[in-house]
Structure 1
Amino acid sequence: MRHSLVLAAPGVLLVPLADVHAPALAALVDEPMWRGMSSPVPRTPDDVLDLIAAADADPGRYAFAVVEESSGAVVGSTSLYDVTLTAARAEIGFTYYARRVWGTTVNPACKLALFRQGFEDWGLARVALRADTANARSIGAILRLGATAEGVLRSHRVRPDGSRGDTAYFSVLADEWPAVRAGLEQRVGLA
């Protein structure tokens, strides 16, 4: 959906994902980094425009471009999706970053901003995250956030190559949020 939310955390600004971000996002994607995603690798800005159009067409999705404050560069994208306020739940996903920011504070800062939106602004009871079980890097990053592993949905998704993939699910509940927030704030230098 088109939205006007702008979220901030140390070092990053999450702005509504728009067509203007397509060239920068296309330039940072490569085949190995995209492994574990549900869509084919976006090789051109036009491919990224298709992803942006799909995000815009999803009524429960708030898609963001991740802008690095120090340089103003677009260094990735992430989303709050399957947002269901009546059930007080949402998921975080569709996340990818430029390789140069892997292992930095960018991911914890983005998650801090997204979780704050969910728990503190929307009053959610649950925020979930998921990853293909073959994507060890993403699973490790999710666990470092402080999310709780919930289990695996077997043969849950179709990979871009047509094979079936298992999905590992994780979540943070509202009563767990203060501890998760403290951990994220420490990782981004707020504590």
Structure 2
Amino acid sequence: MLHDVILEGHGARLVPLDLPHAEALAAFVDARVWAGMSSALPVGVDAWRAEIEGARAAPGRLAFAALDAATGEVRGSTSFYDRDLRVPRVEIGHTFFAPRWWGTSNNPACKLLMLEHAFDVWGCARVALRADTRNTRSVAAITRLGAVPEGVLRNHRLAPDGSRGDTAYFSILPGEWPAVRAGLRARLGAA
């Protein structure tokens, strides 16, 4: 869905994902980066434009381009999705970053910004994150955030190659948020 949410801090800037980001995403997204996604790898700028248009058209999804706050370099993308402010709850996902940003402060910074918005602005009672269990890098990153494992949905995902996969679910609730926030801030302070 179209939105105007911009989040910035800790060297990262999240802006609404838009067509001008297609060229930068096409330049670094490959099979390693796209691992665990349930859609086919977009190849080329035109495919990325279509991917961005799909993300922007999805109801309840606020897709962001993750930028370097100082240089404007596109680091990747992440989204809020399945947002239901009546409950209120949201999921964070559709996340991928250029390999040069793996293992840096980028993911903790982006997730801190998004979690602050979800809990402190929207007043969410639940923020969920999930990953294909085969995507051990993503599962480890979610675990390092401090999200609580909830379980595994078996045979829940269909990969582009037709294989079935399991989905590991995690969540953060309001009572857990202060400790998660402190942990992320400590990680960012050490970076």
Verify the 8 A CA contact 1:89 1:124 in the aligned structure 2: yes
Instruction: Summarize the alignment of residues 100-111 of structure 1 with structure 2, pairs less than 5 Å apart.
Output: 100-111=100-111
Q: Which amino acid aligns with 1:101?
A: W
Shift in Å at residue 116 of structure 1? 0.6
Shift in Å at residue 33 of structure 1? 2.1
Verify the 8 A CA contact 1:147 1:171 in the aligned structure 2: yes
Q: Which amino acid aligns with 1:137?
A: R
Shift in Å at residue 70 of structure 1? 2.8
2:148 aligns with 148
Q: Which amino acid aligns with 1:49?
A: R
Q: Which amino acid aligns with 1:178?
A: P
1:184 aligns with 184
Residues 42-61 of structure 1 show CA distances to partners (whole Å, capped at 9, x for unaligned) of 11111111111111111201
Gaps of 5+ in 2: none
Secondary structure, counterpart of 1:188 in structure 2:
helix
1:29 aligns with 29
Partners of 1:123 and 1:117 lie apart in 2 by: 8
Gaps of 5+ in 1: none
Please report the TM-score for the alignment, with normalisation by the length of structure 1: 0.97
Shift in Å at residue 190 of structure 1? 8.2
Paired positions, count? 191
Residues 1:84 and 2:84 aligned together: yes
Q: Percent identity?
A: 58
1:117 aligns with 117
2:157 aligns with 157
Verify the 8 A CA contact 2:130 2:170 in the aligned structure 1: yes
Please identify runs of 4+ aligned residues in structure 1 that moved more than 3 A.
Answer: none
Shift in Å at residue 168 of structure 1? 0.4
1:169 aligns with 169
Q: Which moved more, 1:63-72 or 1:172-181?
A: 63-72
Give the RMSD, CA atoms, in angstroms: 1.2
Partners of 1:39 and 1:117 lie apart in 2 by: 27
Please report the TM-score for the alignment, with normalisation by the length of structure 2: 0.97
Partners of 2:122 and 2:98 lie apart in 1 by: 29
Partners of 2:108 and 2:26 lie apart in 1 by: 23
